[in-house]
Structure 1
Amino acid sequence: MKILIIDDEKSLRYMLGEICKYAGWDFVPAENGKVGLDIFQRENPDVVVIDYHMPEMDGFQTLMEIRKLNYHVPIIILTVDERQEIADQFINEGATDFALKPVKAPDIIARIQLHIRLTNMQETKEKHEEVFATKGISKKTLQHIANYMQSLDQPASVDKIAKDIGLAYPTVYRYIMHLLENGQARQVTSYQKIGRPKMLYQWYTN
Structure 2
Amino acid sequence: MTEMTAQTVRILAIDDNPDILYTLEQICRFQGWIPLMANGYDEAVEVIRSQTPDLVLVDYHMPGRDGISTVSELRKILPEVPIVVLTIEESDGVVQRFAEAGADDYALKPIKAIDLISRIKVHLQLAAKRVSLQASGTEDHGGRAAEAGENQADTGEKNHRQDVFREKGISEVTLTKLEKALKGEAGFRDIDEIETATTIKKKTLYRYLQFLLKEGRIEQDYSYGEMGRPRTLYRWKNEH
TM-score range, shorter chain: 0.5 to 0.7
Task: Decide whether aligned partners of structure 1 residues 14 and 128 sit closer, same or farther in structure 2, where only a CA change above 3 A counts.
Answer: same
Whose Rg is larger?
A: 1
Separation in structure 1 between the aligned mates of residue 117 and residue 149 of structure 2, nearest angstrom = 40
| Structure 1 segments (4+ residues) deviating >3 Å | 136-143
Separation in structure 2 between the aligned mates of residue 47 and residue 114 of structure 1, nearest angstrom = 11
Alpha carbons 2:60, 2:66 under 8 Å: kept: yes
Alpha carbons 1:34, 1:57 under 8 Å: kept: no
Amino acid at match of 2:132: T
What's 2:35 paired with?
27
**Which aligned pairs between 1:140-151 and structure 2 lie closer than 5 A?**
none
Alpha carbons 2:57, 2:85 under 8 Å: kept: yes
The match for 1:17 among 17, 25, 31 is 25
SS at match of 1:88: helix
Point out where structure 2 has 5 or more consecutive residues left out of the alignment.
1-8, 151-240
What's 1:58 paired with?
66
SS at match of 1:103: coil
The match for 1:129 among 134, 137, 153 is 137
Using the aligned pairs only, state the percent identity.
Answer: 35
Separation in structure 2 between the aligned mates of residue 74 and residue 142 of structure 1, nearest angstrom = 24
What's 1:159 paired with?
none
**Which aligned pairs between 1:1-206 and structure 2 lie closer than 5 A?**
1-132=9-140, 135-137=141-143, 139=146
Point out where structure 1 has 5 or more consecutive residues left out of the alignment.
144-206
Q: Give the root-mean-square deviation of aligned CA atoms.
A: 2.0
Greater Cα offset, 4-13 or 87-96: 87-96
Task: Decide whether aligned partners of structure 1 residues 142 and 110 sit closer, same or farther in structure 2, where only a CA change above 3 A counts.
Answer: closer
Alpha carbons 1:37, 1:62 under 8 Å: kept: no
Separation in structure 2 between the aligned mates of residue 73 and residue 142 of structure 1, nearest angstrom = 23
SS at match of 1:44: coil
What's 1:164 paired with?
none
TM-score (norm 2): 0.56
TM-score (norm 1): 0.65
Alpha carbons 1:34, 1:56 under 8 Å: kept: no
Deviation at 1:136, TM superposition (A): 4.3
Alpha carbons 1:33, 1:56 under 8 Å: kept: no
Amino acid at match of 2:74: I
Deviation at 1:85, TM superposition (A): 1.6
